Amino acid sequence: MSYHDNVGMSIEYPEVAECATPIAAAAESTAAPHVLQDPSKIPAMDMTLPEAMTMAMQNSPVIRSLAAVVPSSEAGQTIYNPGVTASSNQGVEAALSNFDAQYSNSLIWSTQDEPNNVRIVDPTQLLFTVPVNESTNAAWSSQLQKRTATGSTFALRHVVNYANSNRPQQRFSSSFAGWLEAEWRQPLLAGAGLQYNRIVGSSQVPGQYNGVLIARINEDVALADYEQSIIQLAADVEEAYWNLWTSYRLLEANIKGRESALKTYQYQNVRLEVGAGRQDEEAQAQSQYYQFEASVQNQLGGPTGLYAREQRLRYLLGMSAADGKLLRPTSDPMDMQVTFDWNSALSQALDRRVEVRRQRYQVKRREFELYAARLGKRPTLDLIGQYRWRGFGDHLLGDYDDSPFDGFYSTIADGNYQEWSAGFEFAMPVGLRLASTAVANANLQLQRERAILAETELAISHNLADDARSVELAFQLMETNYNRYQADLRQVEVLLRRYLDGTDNINFLLQAQRSVVQSEVAFYESLGNYNLAIRDLHVEKGSLLAYNQIQLAEGAWANGASRDAYEKGLFLTPRKDPSEITRTPVVTRQGFDPSAVQNTGAAVNTIAPPQSIEMLESTPSDAPPVGNTHSVIEVEKVPVEIGSNVPPSIKFD
């Protein structure tokens, strides 16, 4: 009971080797979080959106998300996942090992001490004795076997048996006997063919394949999953960045509302003290002040406040939750109208989306499986051949006398004793029920994956249409909220003058002050939503990595990898004559670079820039002009390579 209570039911910590990494250091050095501190008194760390993207990509061995859940070892996506798949039994190297030469060797000693049921009379002593077989034996077997990509099997086998016994009528009391043989087996029906063996591999079960082509698809699917996680990380970083930018603007708007409410309350309090005001009006002004004060506090420390959103961005960047500094976005949001050519965007979405590419790999896998299943629905017919050189001798090596059987290897070298065999082996399960079931299942699996591919493309087209609509709507809402904000500013100015003159009630002024804060908040939120809508459209058409100039690259090679590649390349002979080249059906077409610059074909209307542009706005033709009205230049923000002279966007300052 003492072991059960004190040891068996205890919870213990595993003793593991922990590495000192920047991520672990960031977790251990986290300071106390900010709650309601004044942001202006906290040192700021200016950061542009490209800098945030670079930091997130460099500090994400485990791909993070805005959900900020603790990652699990089973479901977490990391930079090591593609390599783990490639180095597992699902990778190409493991599949190629099915064709490696196999060498086996065995050496066994044994003795025999067996009495025989035979009566022998000893005439000298008139006794009956029982003979006993006594021997010392050794058996050595060595084999080198190789399976080829066409299904053939070659084997070189060597067997040596040694015996030293007391059996009567023996030429030698001890002898060596054995042979050296070569064997070849070539499937003619089931198991034959280059394409079939590259799909099936070493599997003996119909419908379950682990060949090189299947392993190649496994690695490509792992890369697609990794690319999808990088796309999601980039989308989350951009969302967190613009949300933080918006939080700064919302905090500023609420602070301005609080300051205006405080001035109104102070003015009303003075009027009340001199007897010119009313207590209910003073209470209303005070209530509005505290209402804005609560909004400021919520914008600072609330779940969607400045500090919470700053911490989310820190998490995505691999930084500590708090370190005494405050991240401050310095990139200006896109405030111009961005238009996308619909046909180009749709074609890119259906071709470049990682989900489509991943599903096409699944379709290709099912095509391979159906091909293998159909070839597997055949009987087994193998052509076999064997040639053997036998040897026998009193000694293993050398010639000690003129006896023809003095040396074992000398006998083999003479080649006087040779054997051969050739023939066919045929086998077939009557009915081929399992093979027929595998064909039917492979056919249904292929139809299923094709249906999912079509459904994926349909869903992407609908999502792209929704995001294209959202981009247009977000821009129009941004313009509308901006015009509303300008109108509310003029309304406050007029009502404040009338209130100070004593010709208007305070209720109208307080309502206008609330309205101007609400319209300013709505404007900045719509501006942030517009930039996120552009991001969503890039996500849907598969160009987000190119939009943010993110490139996927393989890590550094291990030591000696370049030398191995060079040595393997020595066996590759270039063929200039197409008739000399024999190829199986290709798995993929041309290479795909998700970070390549895309040409969408969008038209650009060149117009003269306006005199001053603080924000693009549009005014209906039948509405009175509000402030300065400006034309809209229709461009698409085109990502460019680093070092290029082309600006990443067209924007008027």
Q: Are 212 and 196 in contact (CB under 8 A)?
A: no
| Greater model confidence, 514 or 73 | 514
DSSP string across 327-377: EEE-SPPP-S-B---HHHHHHHHHHH-HHHHHHHHHHHHHHHHHHHHHHHS
pLDDT at 331: 94
Residue tagged 């003058």 (tokens) = 497
- The segment with the largest mean pLDDT, out of 276-285, 420-429, 493-502, is 420-429
With 0.85 as the threshold, say if the pTM is over it: no
pLDDT at 632: 32
Q: Is the pLDDT of residue 124 over 70?
A: no
Q: Is the pLDDT of residue 23 over 90?
A: no
Instruction: Write the Ramachandran bin of 450: left for phi over 0, alpha for psi from -120 to 50, otherwise beta.
Output: alpha
Please give the average per-residue pLDDT across 184-198, as a whole number.
92
CA distance 265 to 287: 9
| Greater model confidence, 293 or 601 | 293
CA distance to 42, 298, 303, per residue, from 323 (Å): 10, 22, 20
CB proximity list for 322: less than 8 A, separation 6 or greater: 30, 31, 32, 33, 34, 311, 314
pLDDT at 129: 64
Element (H, E) at 496: helix 433-501
- The segment with the largest mean pLDDT, out of 11-20, 110-119, 150-159, is 150-159
CA distance to 93, 101, 199, 203, per residue, from 209 (Å): 15, 20, 6, 6
pLDDT in tens, 61-112: 999 888 766 777 777 889 999 999 999 999 999 999 999 999 999 999 999 8
Residue tagged 């299904």 (tokens) = 151
pLDDT at 65: 87
Q: Is the pLDDT of residue 216 over 70?
A: yes
Q: Is the pLDDT of residue 345 over 70?
A: yes
Closest CA to 98 of 181, 223, 213, 207: 213
Q: Is the pLDDT of residue 635 over 50?
A: no
pLDDT at 645: 34
Q: Is the pLDDT of residue 608 over 50?
A: no
pLDDT in tens, 405-443: 778 888 888 888 999 999 999 999 998 899 999 999 999
CA distance 141 to 160: 6
Q: To the nearest whole percent, how much of the chain has pLDDT over 90? A: 53
Kindly report the length of the chain: 653
pLDDT at 425: 95
pLDDT in tens, 199-208: 998 888 888 8
CA distance 281 to 292: 17
Closest CA to 551 of 76, 227, 223: 227
Q: To the nearest whole percent, how much of the chain has pLDDT over 70? A: 86
Q: Is the pLDDT of residue 620 over 60?
A: no
pLDDT at 402: 65
Q: Burial level of 2, CB count in 10 A (0-12/13-18/19+)? A: exposed
Q: Is the pLDDT of residue 133 over 60?
A: yes
CA distance 526 to 480: 10
Lowest mean pLDDT among 135-149, 477-491, 561-575: 561-575
Q: Is the pLDDT of residue 57 over 80?
A: yes
pLDDT in tens, 296-312: 999 999 999 999 999 99
pLDDT in tens, 355-402: 999 999 999 999 999 999 999 899 999 999 999 999 988 888 866 666
Angle between helix axes 506-540 and 212-273 (nearest 10 degrees) is 170
- The segment with the largest mean pLDDT, out of 164-168, 266-270, 348-352, 521-525, is 521-525
Strand ranges across the sheet with 102-115: 102-115, 132-147, 153-165, 174-187, 380-393, 418-427
Lowest mean pLDDT among 126-130, 141-145, 488-492, 631-635: 631-635
Q: What is the DSSP letter of 579?
A: G
Q: Are 111 and 135 in contact (CB under 8 A)?
A: yes
Mean per-residue pLDDT over the chain, rounded: 84
Q: Other CB atoms closer than 10 Å to residue 141's CB: what's the count?
A: 15
pLDDT band at 621 (very low <50, low <70, confident <90, very high): very low
Q: Is the pLDDT of residue 597 over 90?
A: no
Q: Is the pLDDT of residue 274 over 50?
A: yes
pLDDT at 604: 35
pLDDT at 463: 96
